[in-house]
Amino acid sequence: MASAMQAANGFKQALLRGGPTFGVWQTLPGANLSRAIARSGVEWICIDTEHGNIDATDAQMHESVAAIAACGVSPIVRIPANEAWMIKRALDAGAHAILVPLIKTAEDVRRLVSAAKFPPLGSRGFGSPFSMEKFAAGSRIPTATEYLQQANDALATIVQIETAEAYTNIEEIAQAPGVDMFFVGPFDLGNNIGYPILDGSLHEELKKAIGRIFEVARKAGKATGIYCTSGEQAKGFADMGFNMISVAADMIAIPSHIGASLKAAKGSTKDWGGEITGPYGR
């Protein structure tokens, strides 16, 4: 039976059920933006402190985590690097999951898991007064003791597979305990294995690499995720069996919607010029 905290973590529940769960990438700061995205019907929002314009250490990340959780949506924080203090700050803010980039080896994963888990599974420090309220079930907020006892099972730990080293070491990485998901960063993975995404399309060799990551994760009993730039692309990876799939990013959705609306207002047949060639648009 799921703990109260695990039951309040919609993202973790979706992973346990299986099937796809859809969300959005937030790269711009602001609790109002977080709330607006959360009210769109998505199941999770990834607060991107690696490439986004969001402070990884305190105010902006804390405010977005709180705003998203208050809307009943799971806040996921992508930290800038595999650093213990960054993991602590994201989890202490109340993140339901952390997404960790720049993983290369199984030892990297072991360090990550140690920082993300309370003893005896890890070495995470205990004491944040902010985490508990992000797992409220109705008016019931877990106590600090309940958070301590339940967090190891209730939170999700996601490793990003994007480096050439991680791709080479994928089988060994898959055996490291404490990881819930492999998440494919297709742009950096393509760059690092020699098949960059230059025009928005994926080279066949990159597709094969993504398929290999998916199969290794599946055999190891781990969920899979991938960054997508559109709903159409997301549908394809959902049909393939991926679990965590982005359908948009704020820095794609805002200019593309405005550009399309402006084109319609002008009665123009000219393309609005916003072709997606990078992770966040043009």
CATH number, domain containing residue 95? 3.20.20.60
Summarize pLDDT for 123-147 with one digit per residue, the tens.
Answer: 999 989 999 999 997 778 999 999 9
Looking at the domain assignment, is residue 272 inside a domain? no
- Catalytic residue at 51? yes
Q: Tell me how many domains the chain contains.
A: 1
Alpha helix stretches (DSSP H) within the chain = 4-8, 10-17, 31-38, 59-70, 84-93, 106-116, 144-154, 164-168, 170-174, 186-193, 204-219, 231-240, 250-266
Please answer whether residues 81 and 102 qualify as being in contact, where contact means their C-beta atoms are separated by less than 8 angstroms: yes
Looking at the domain assignment, is residue 165 inside a domain? yes
Confidence class of residue 199 from pLDDT cuts 50, 70 and 90? confident
Q: Is the pLDDT of residue 279 over 90?
A: no
Looking at the domain assignment, is residue 281 inside a domain? no
Looking at the domain assignment, is residue 54 inside a domain? yes
| Predicted local confidence at residue 275, as pLDDT | 57
Q: Is the pLDDT of residue 57 over 70?
A: no
Greater confidence (1 vs 87) lies with 87
Looking at the domain assignment, is residue 274 inside a domain? no
Summarize pLDDT for 110-124 with one digit per residue, the tens.
Answer: 999 999 999 999 999
CA–chain centroid gap for 68, Å, is 14
Domain span at 53: 4-266
Kindly state the average pLDDT of the residues 189-205: 92
Looking at the domain assignment, is residue 184 inside a domain? yes
Looking at the domain assignment, is residue 127 inside a domain? yes
Residue in 51, 96, 203, 257 annotated catalytic: 51
Looking at the domain assignment, is residue 167 inside a domain? yes
Percent of the chain with pLDDT over 90: 83
**Burial (CB count <10 Å: 0-12, 13-18, 19+), residue 278:** middle
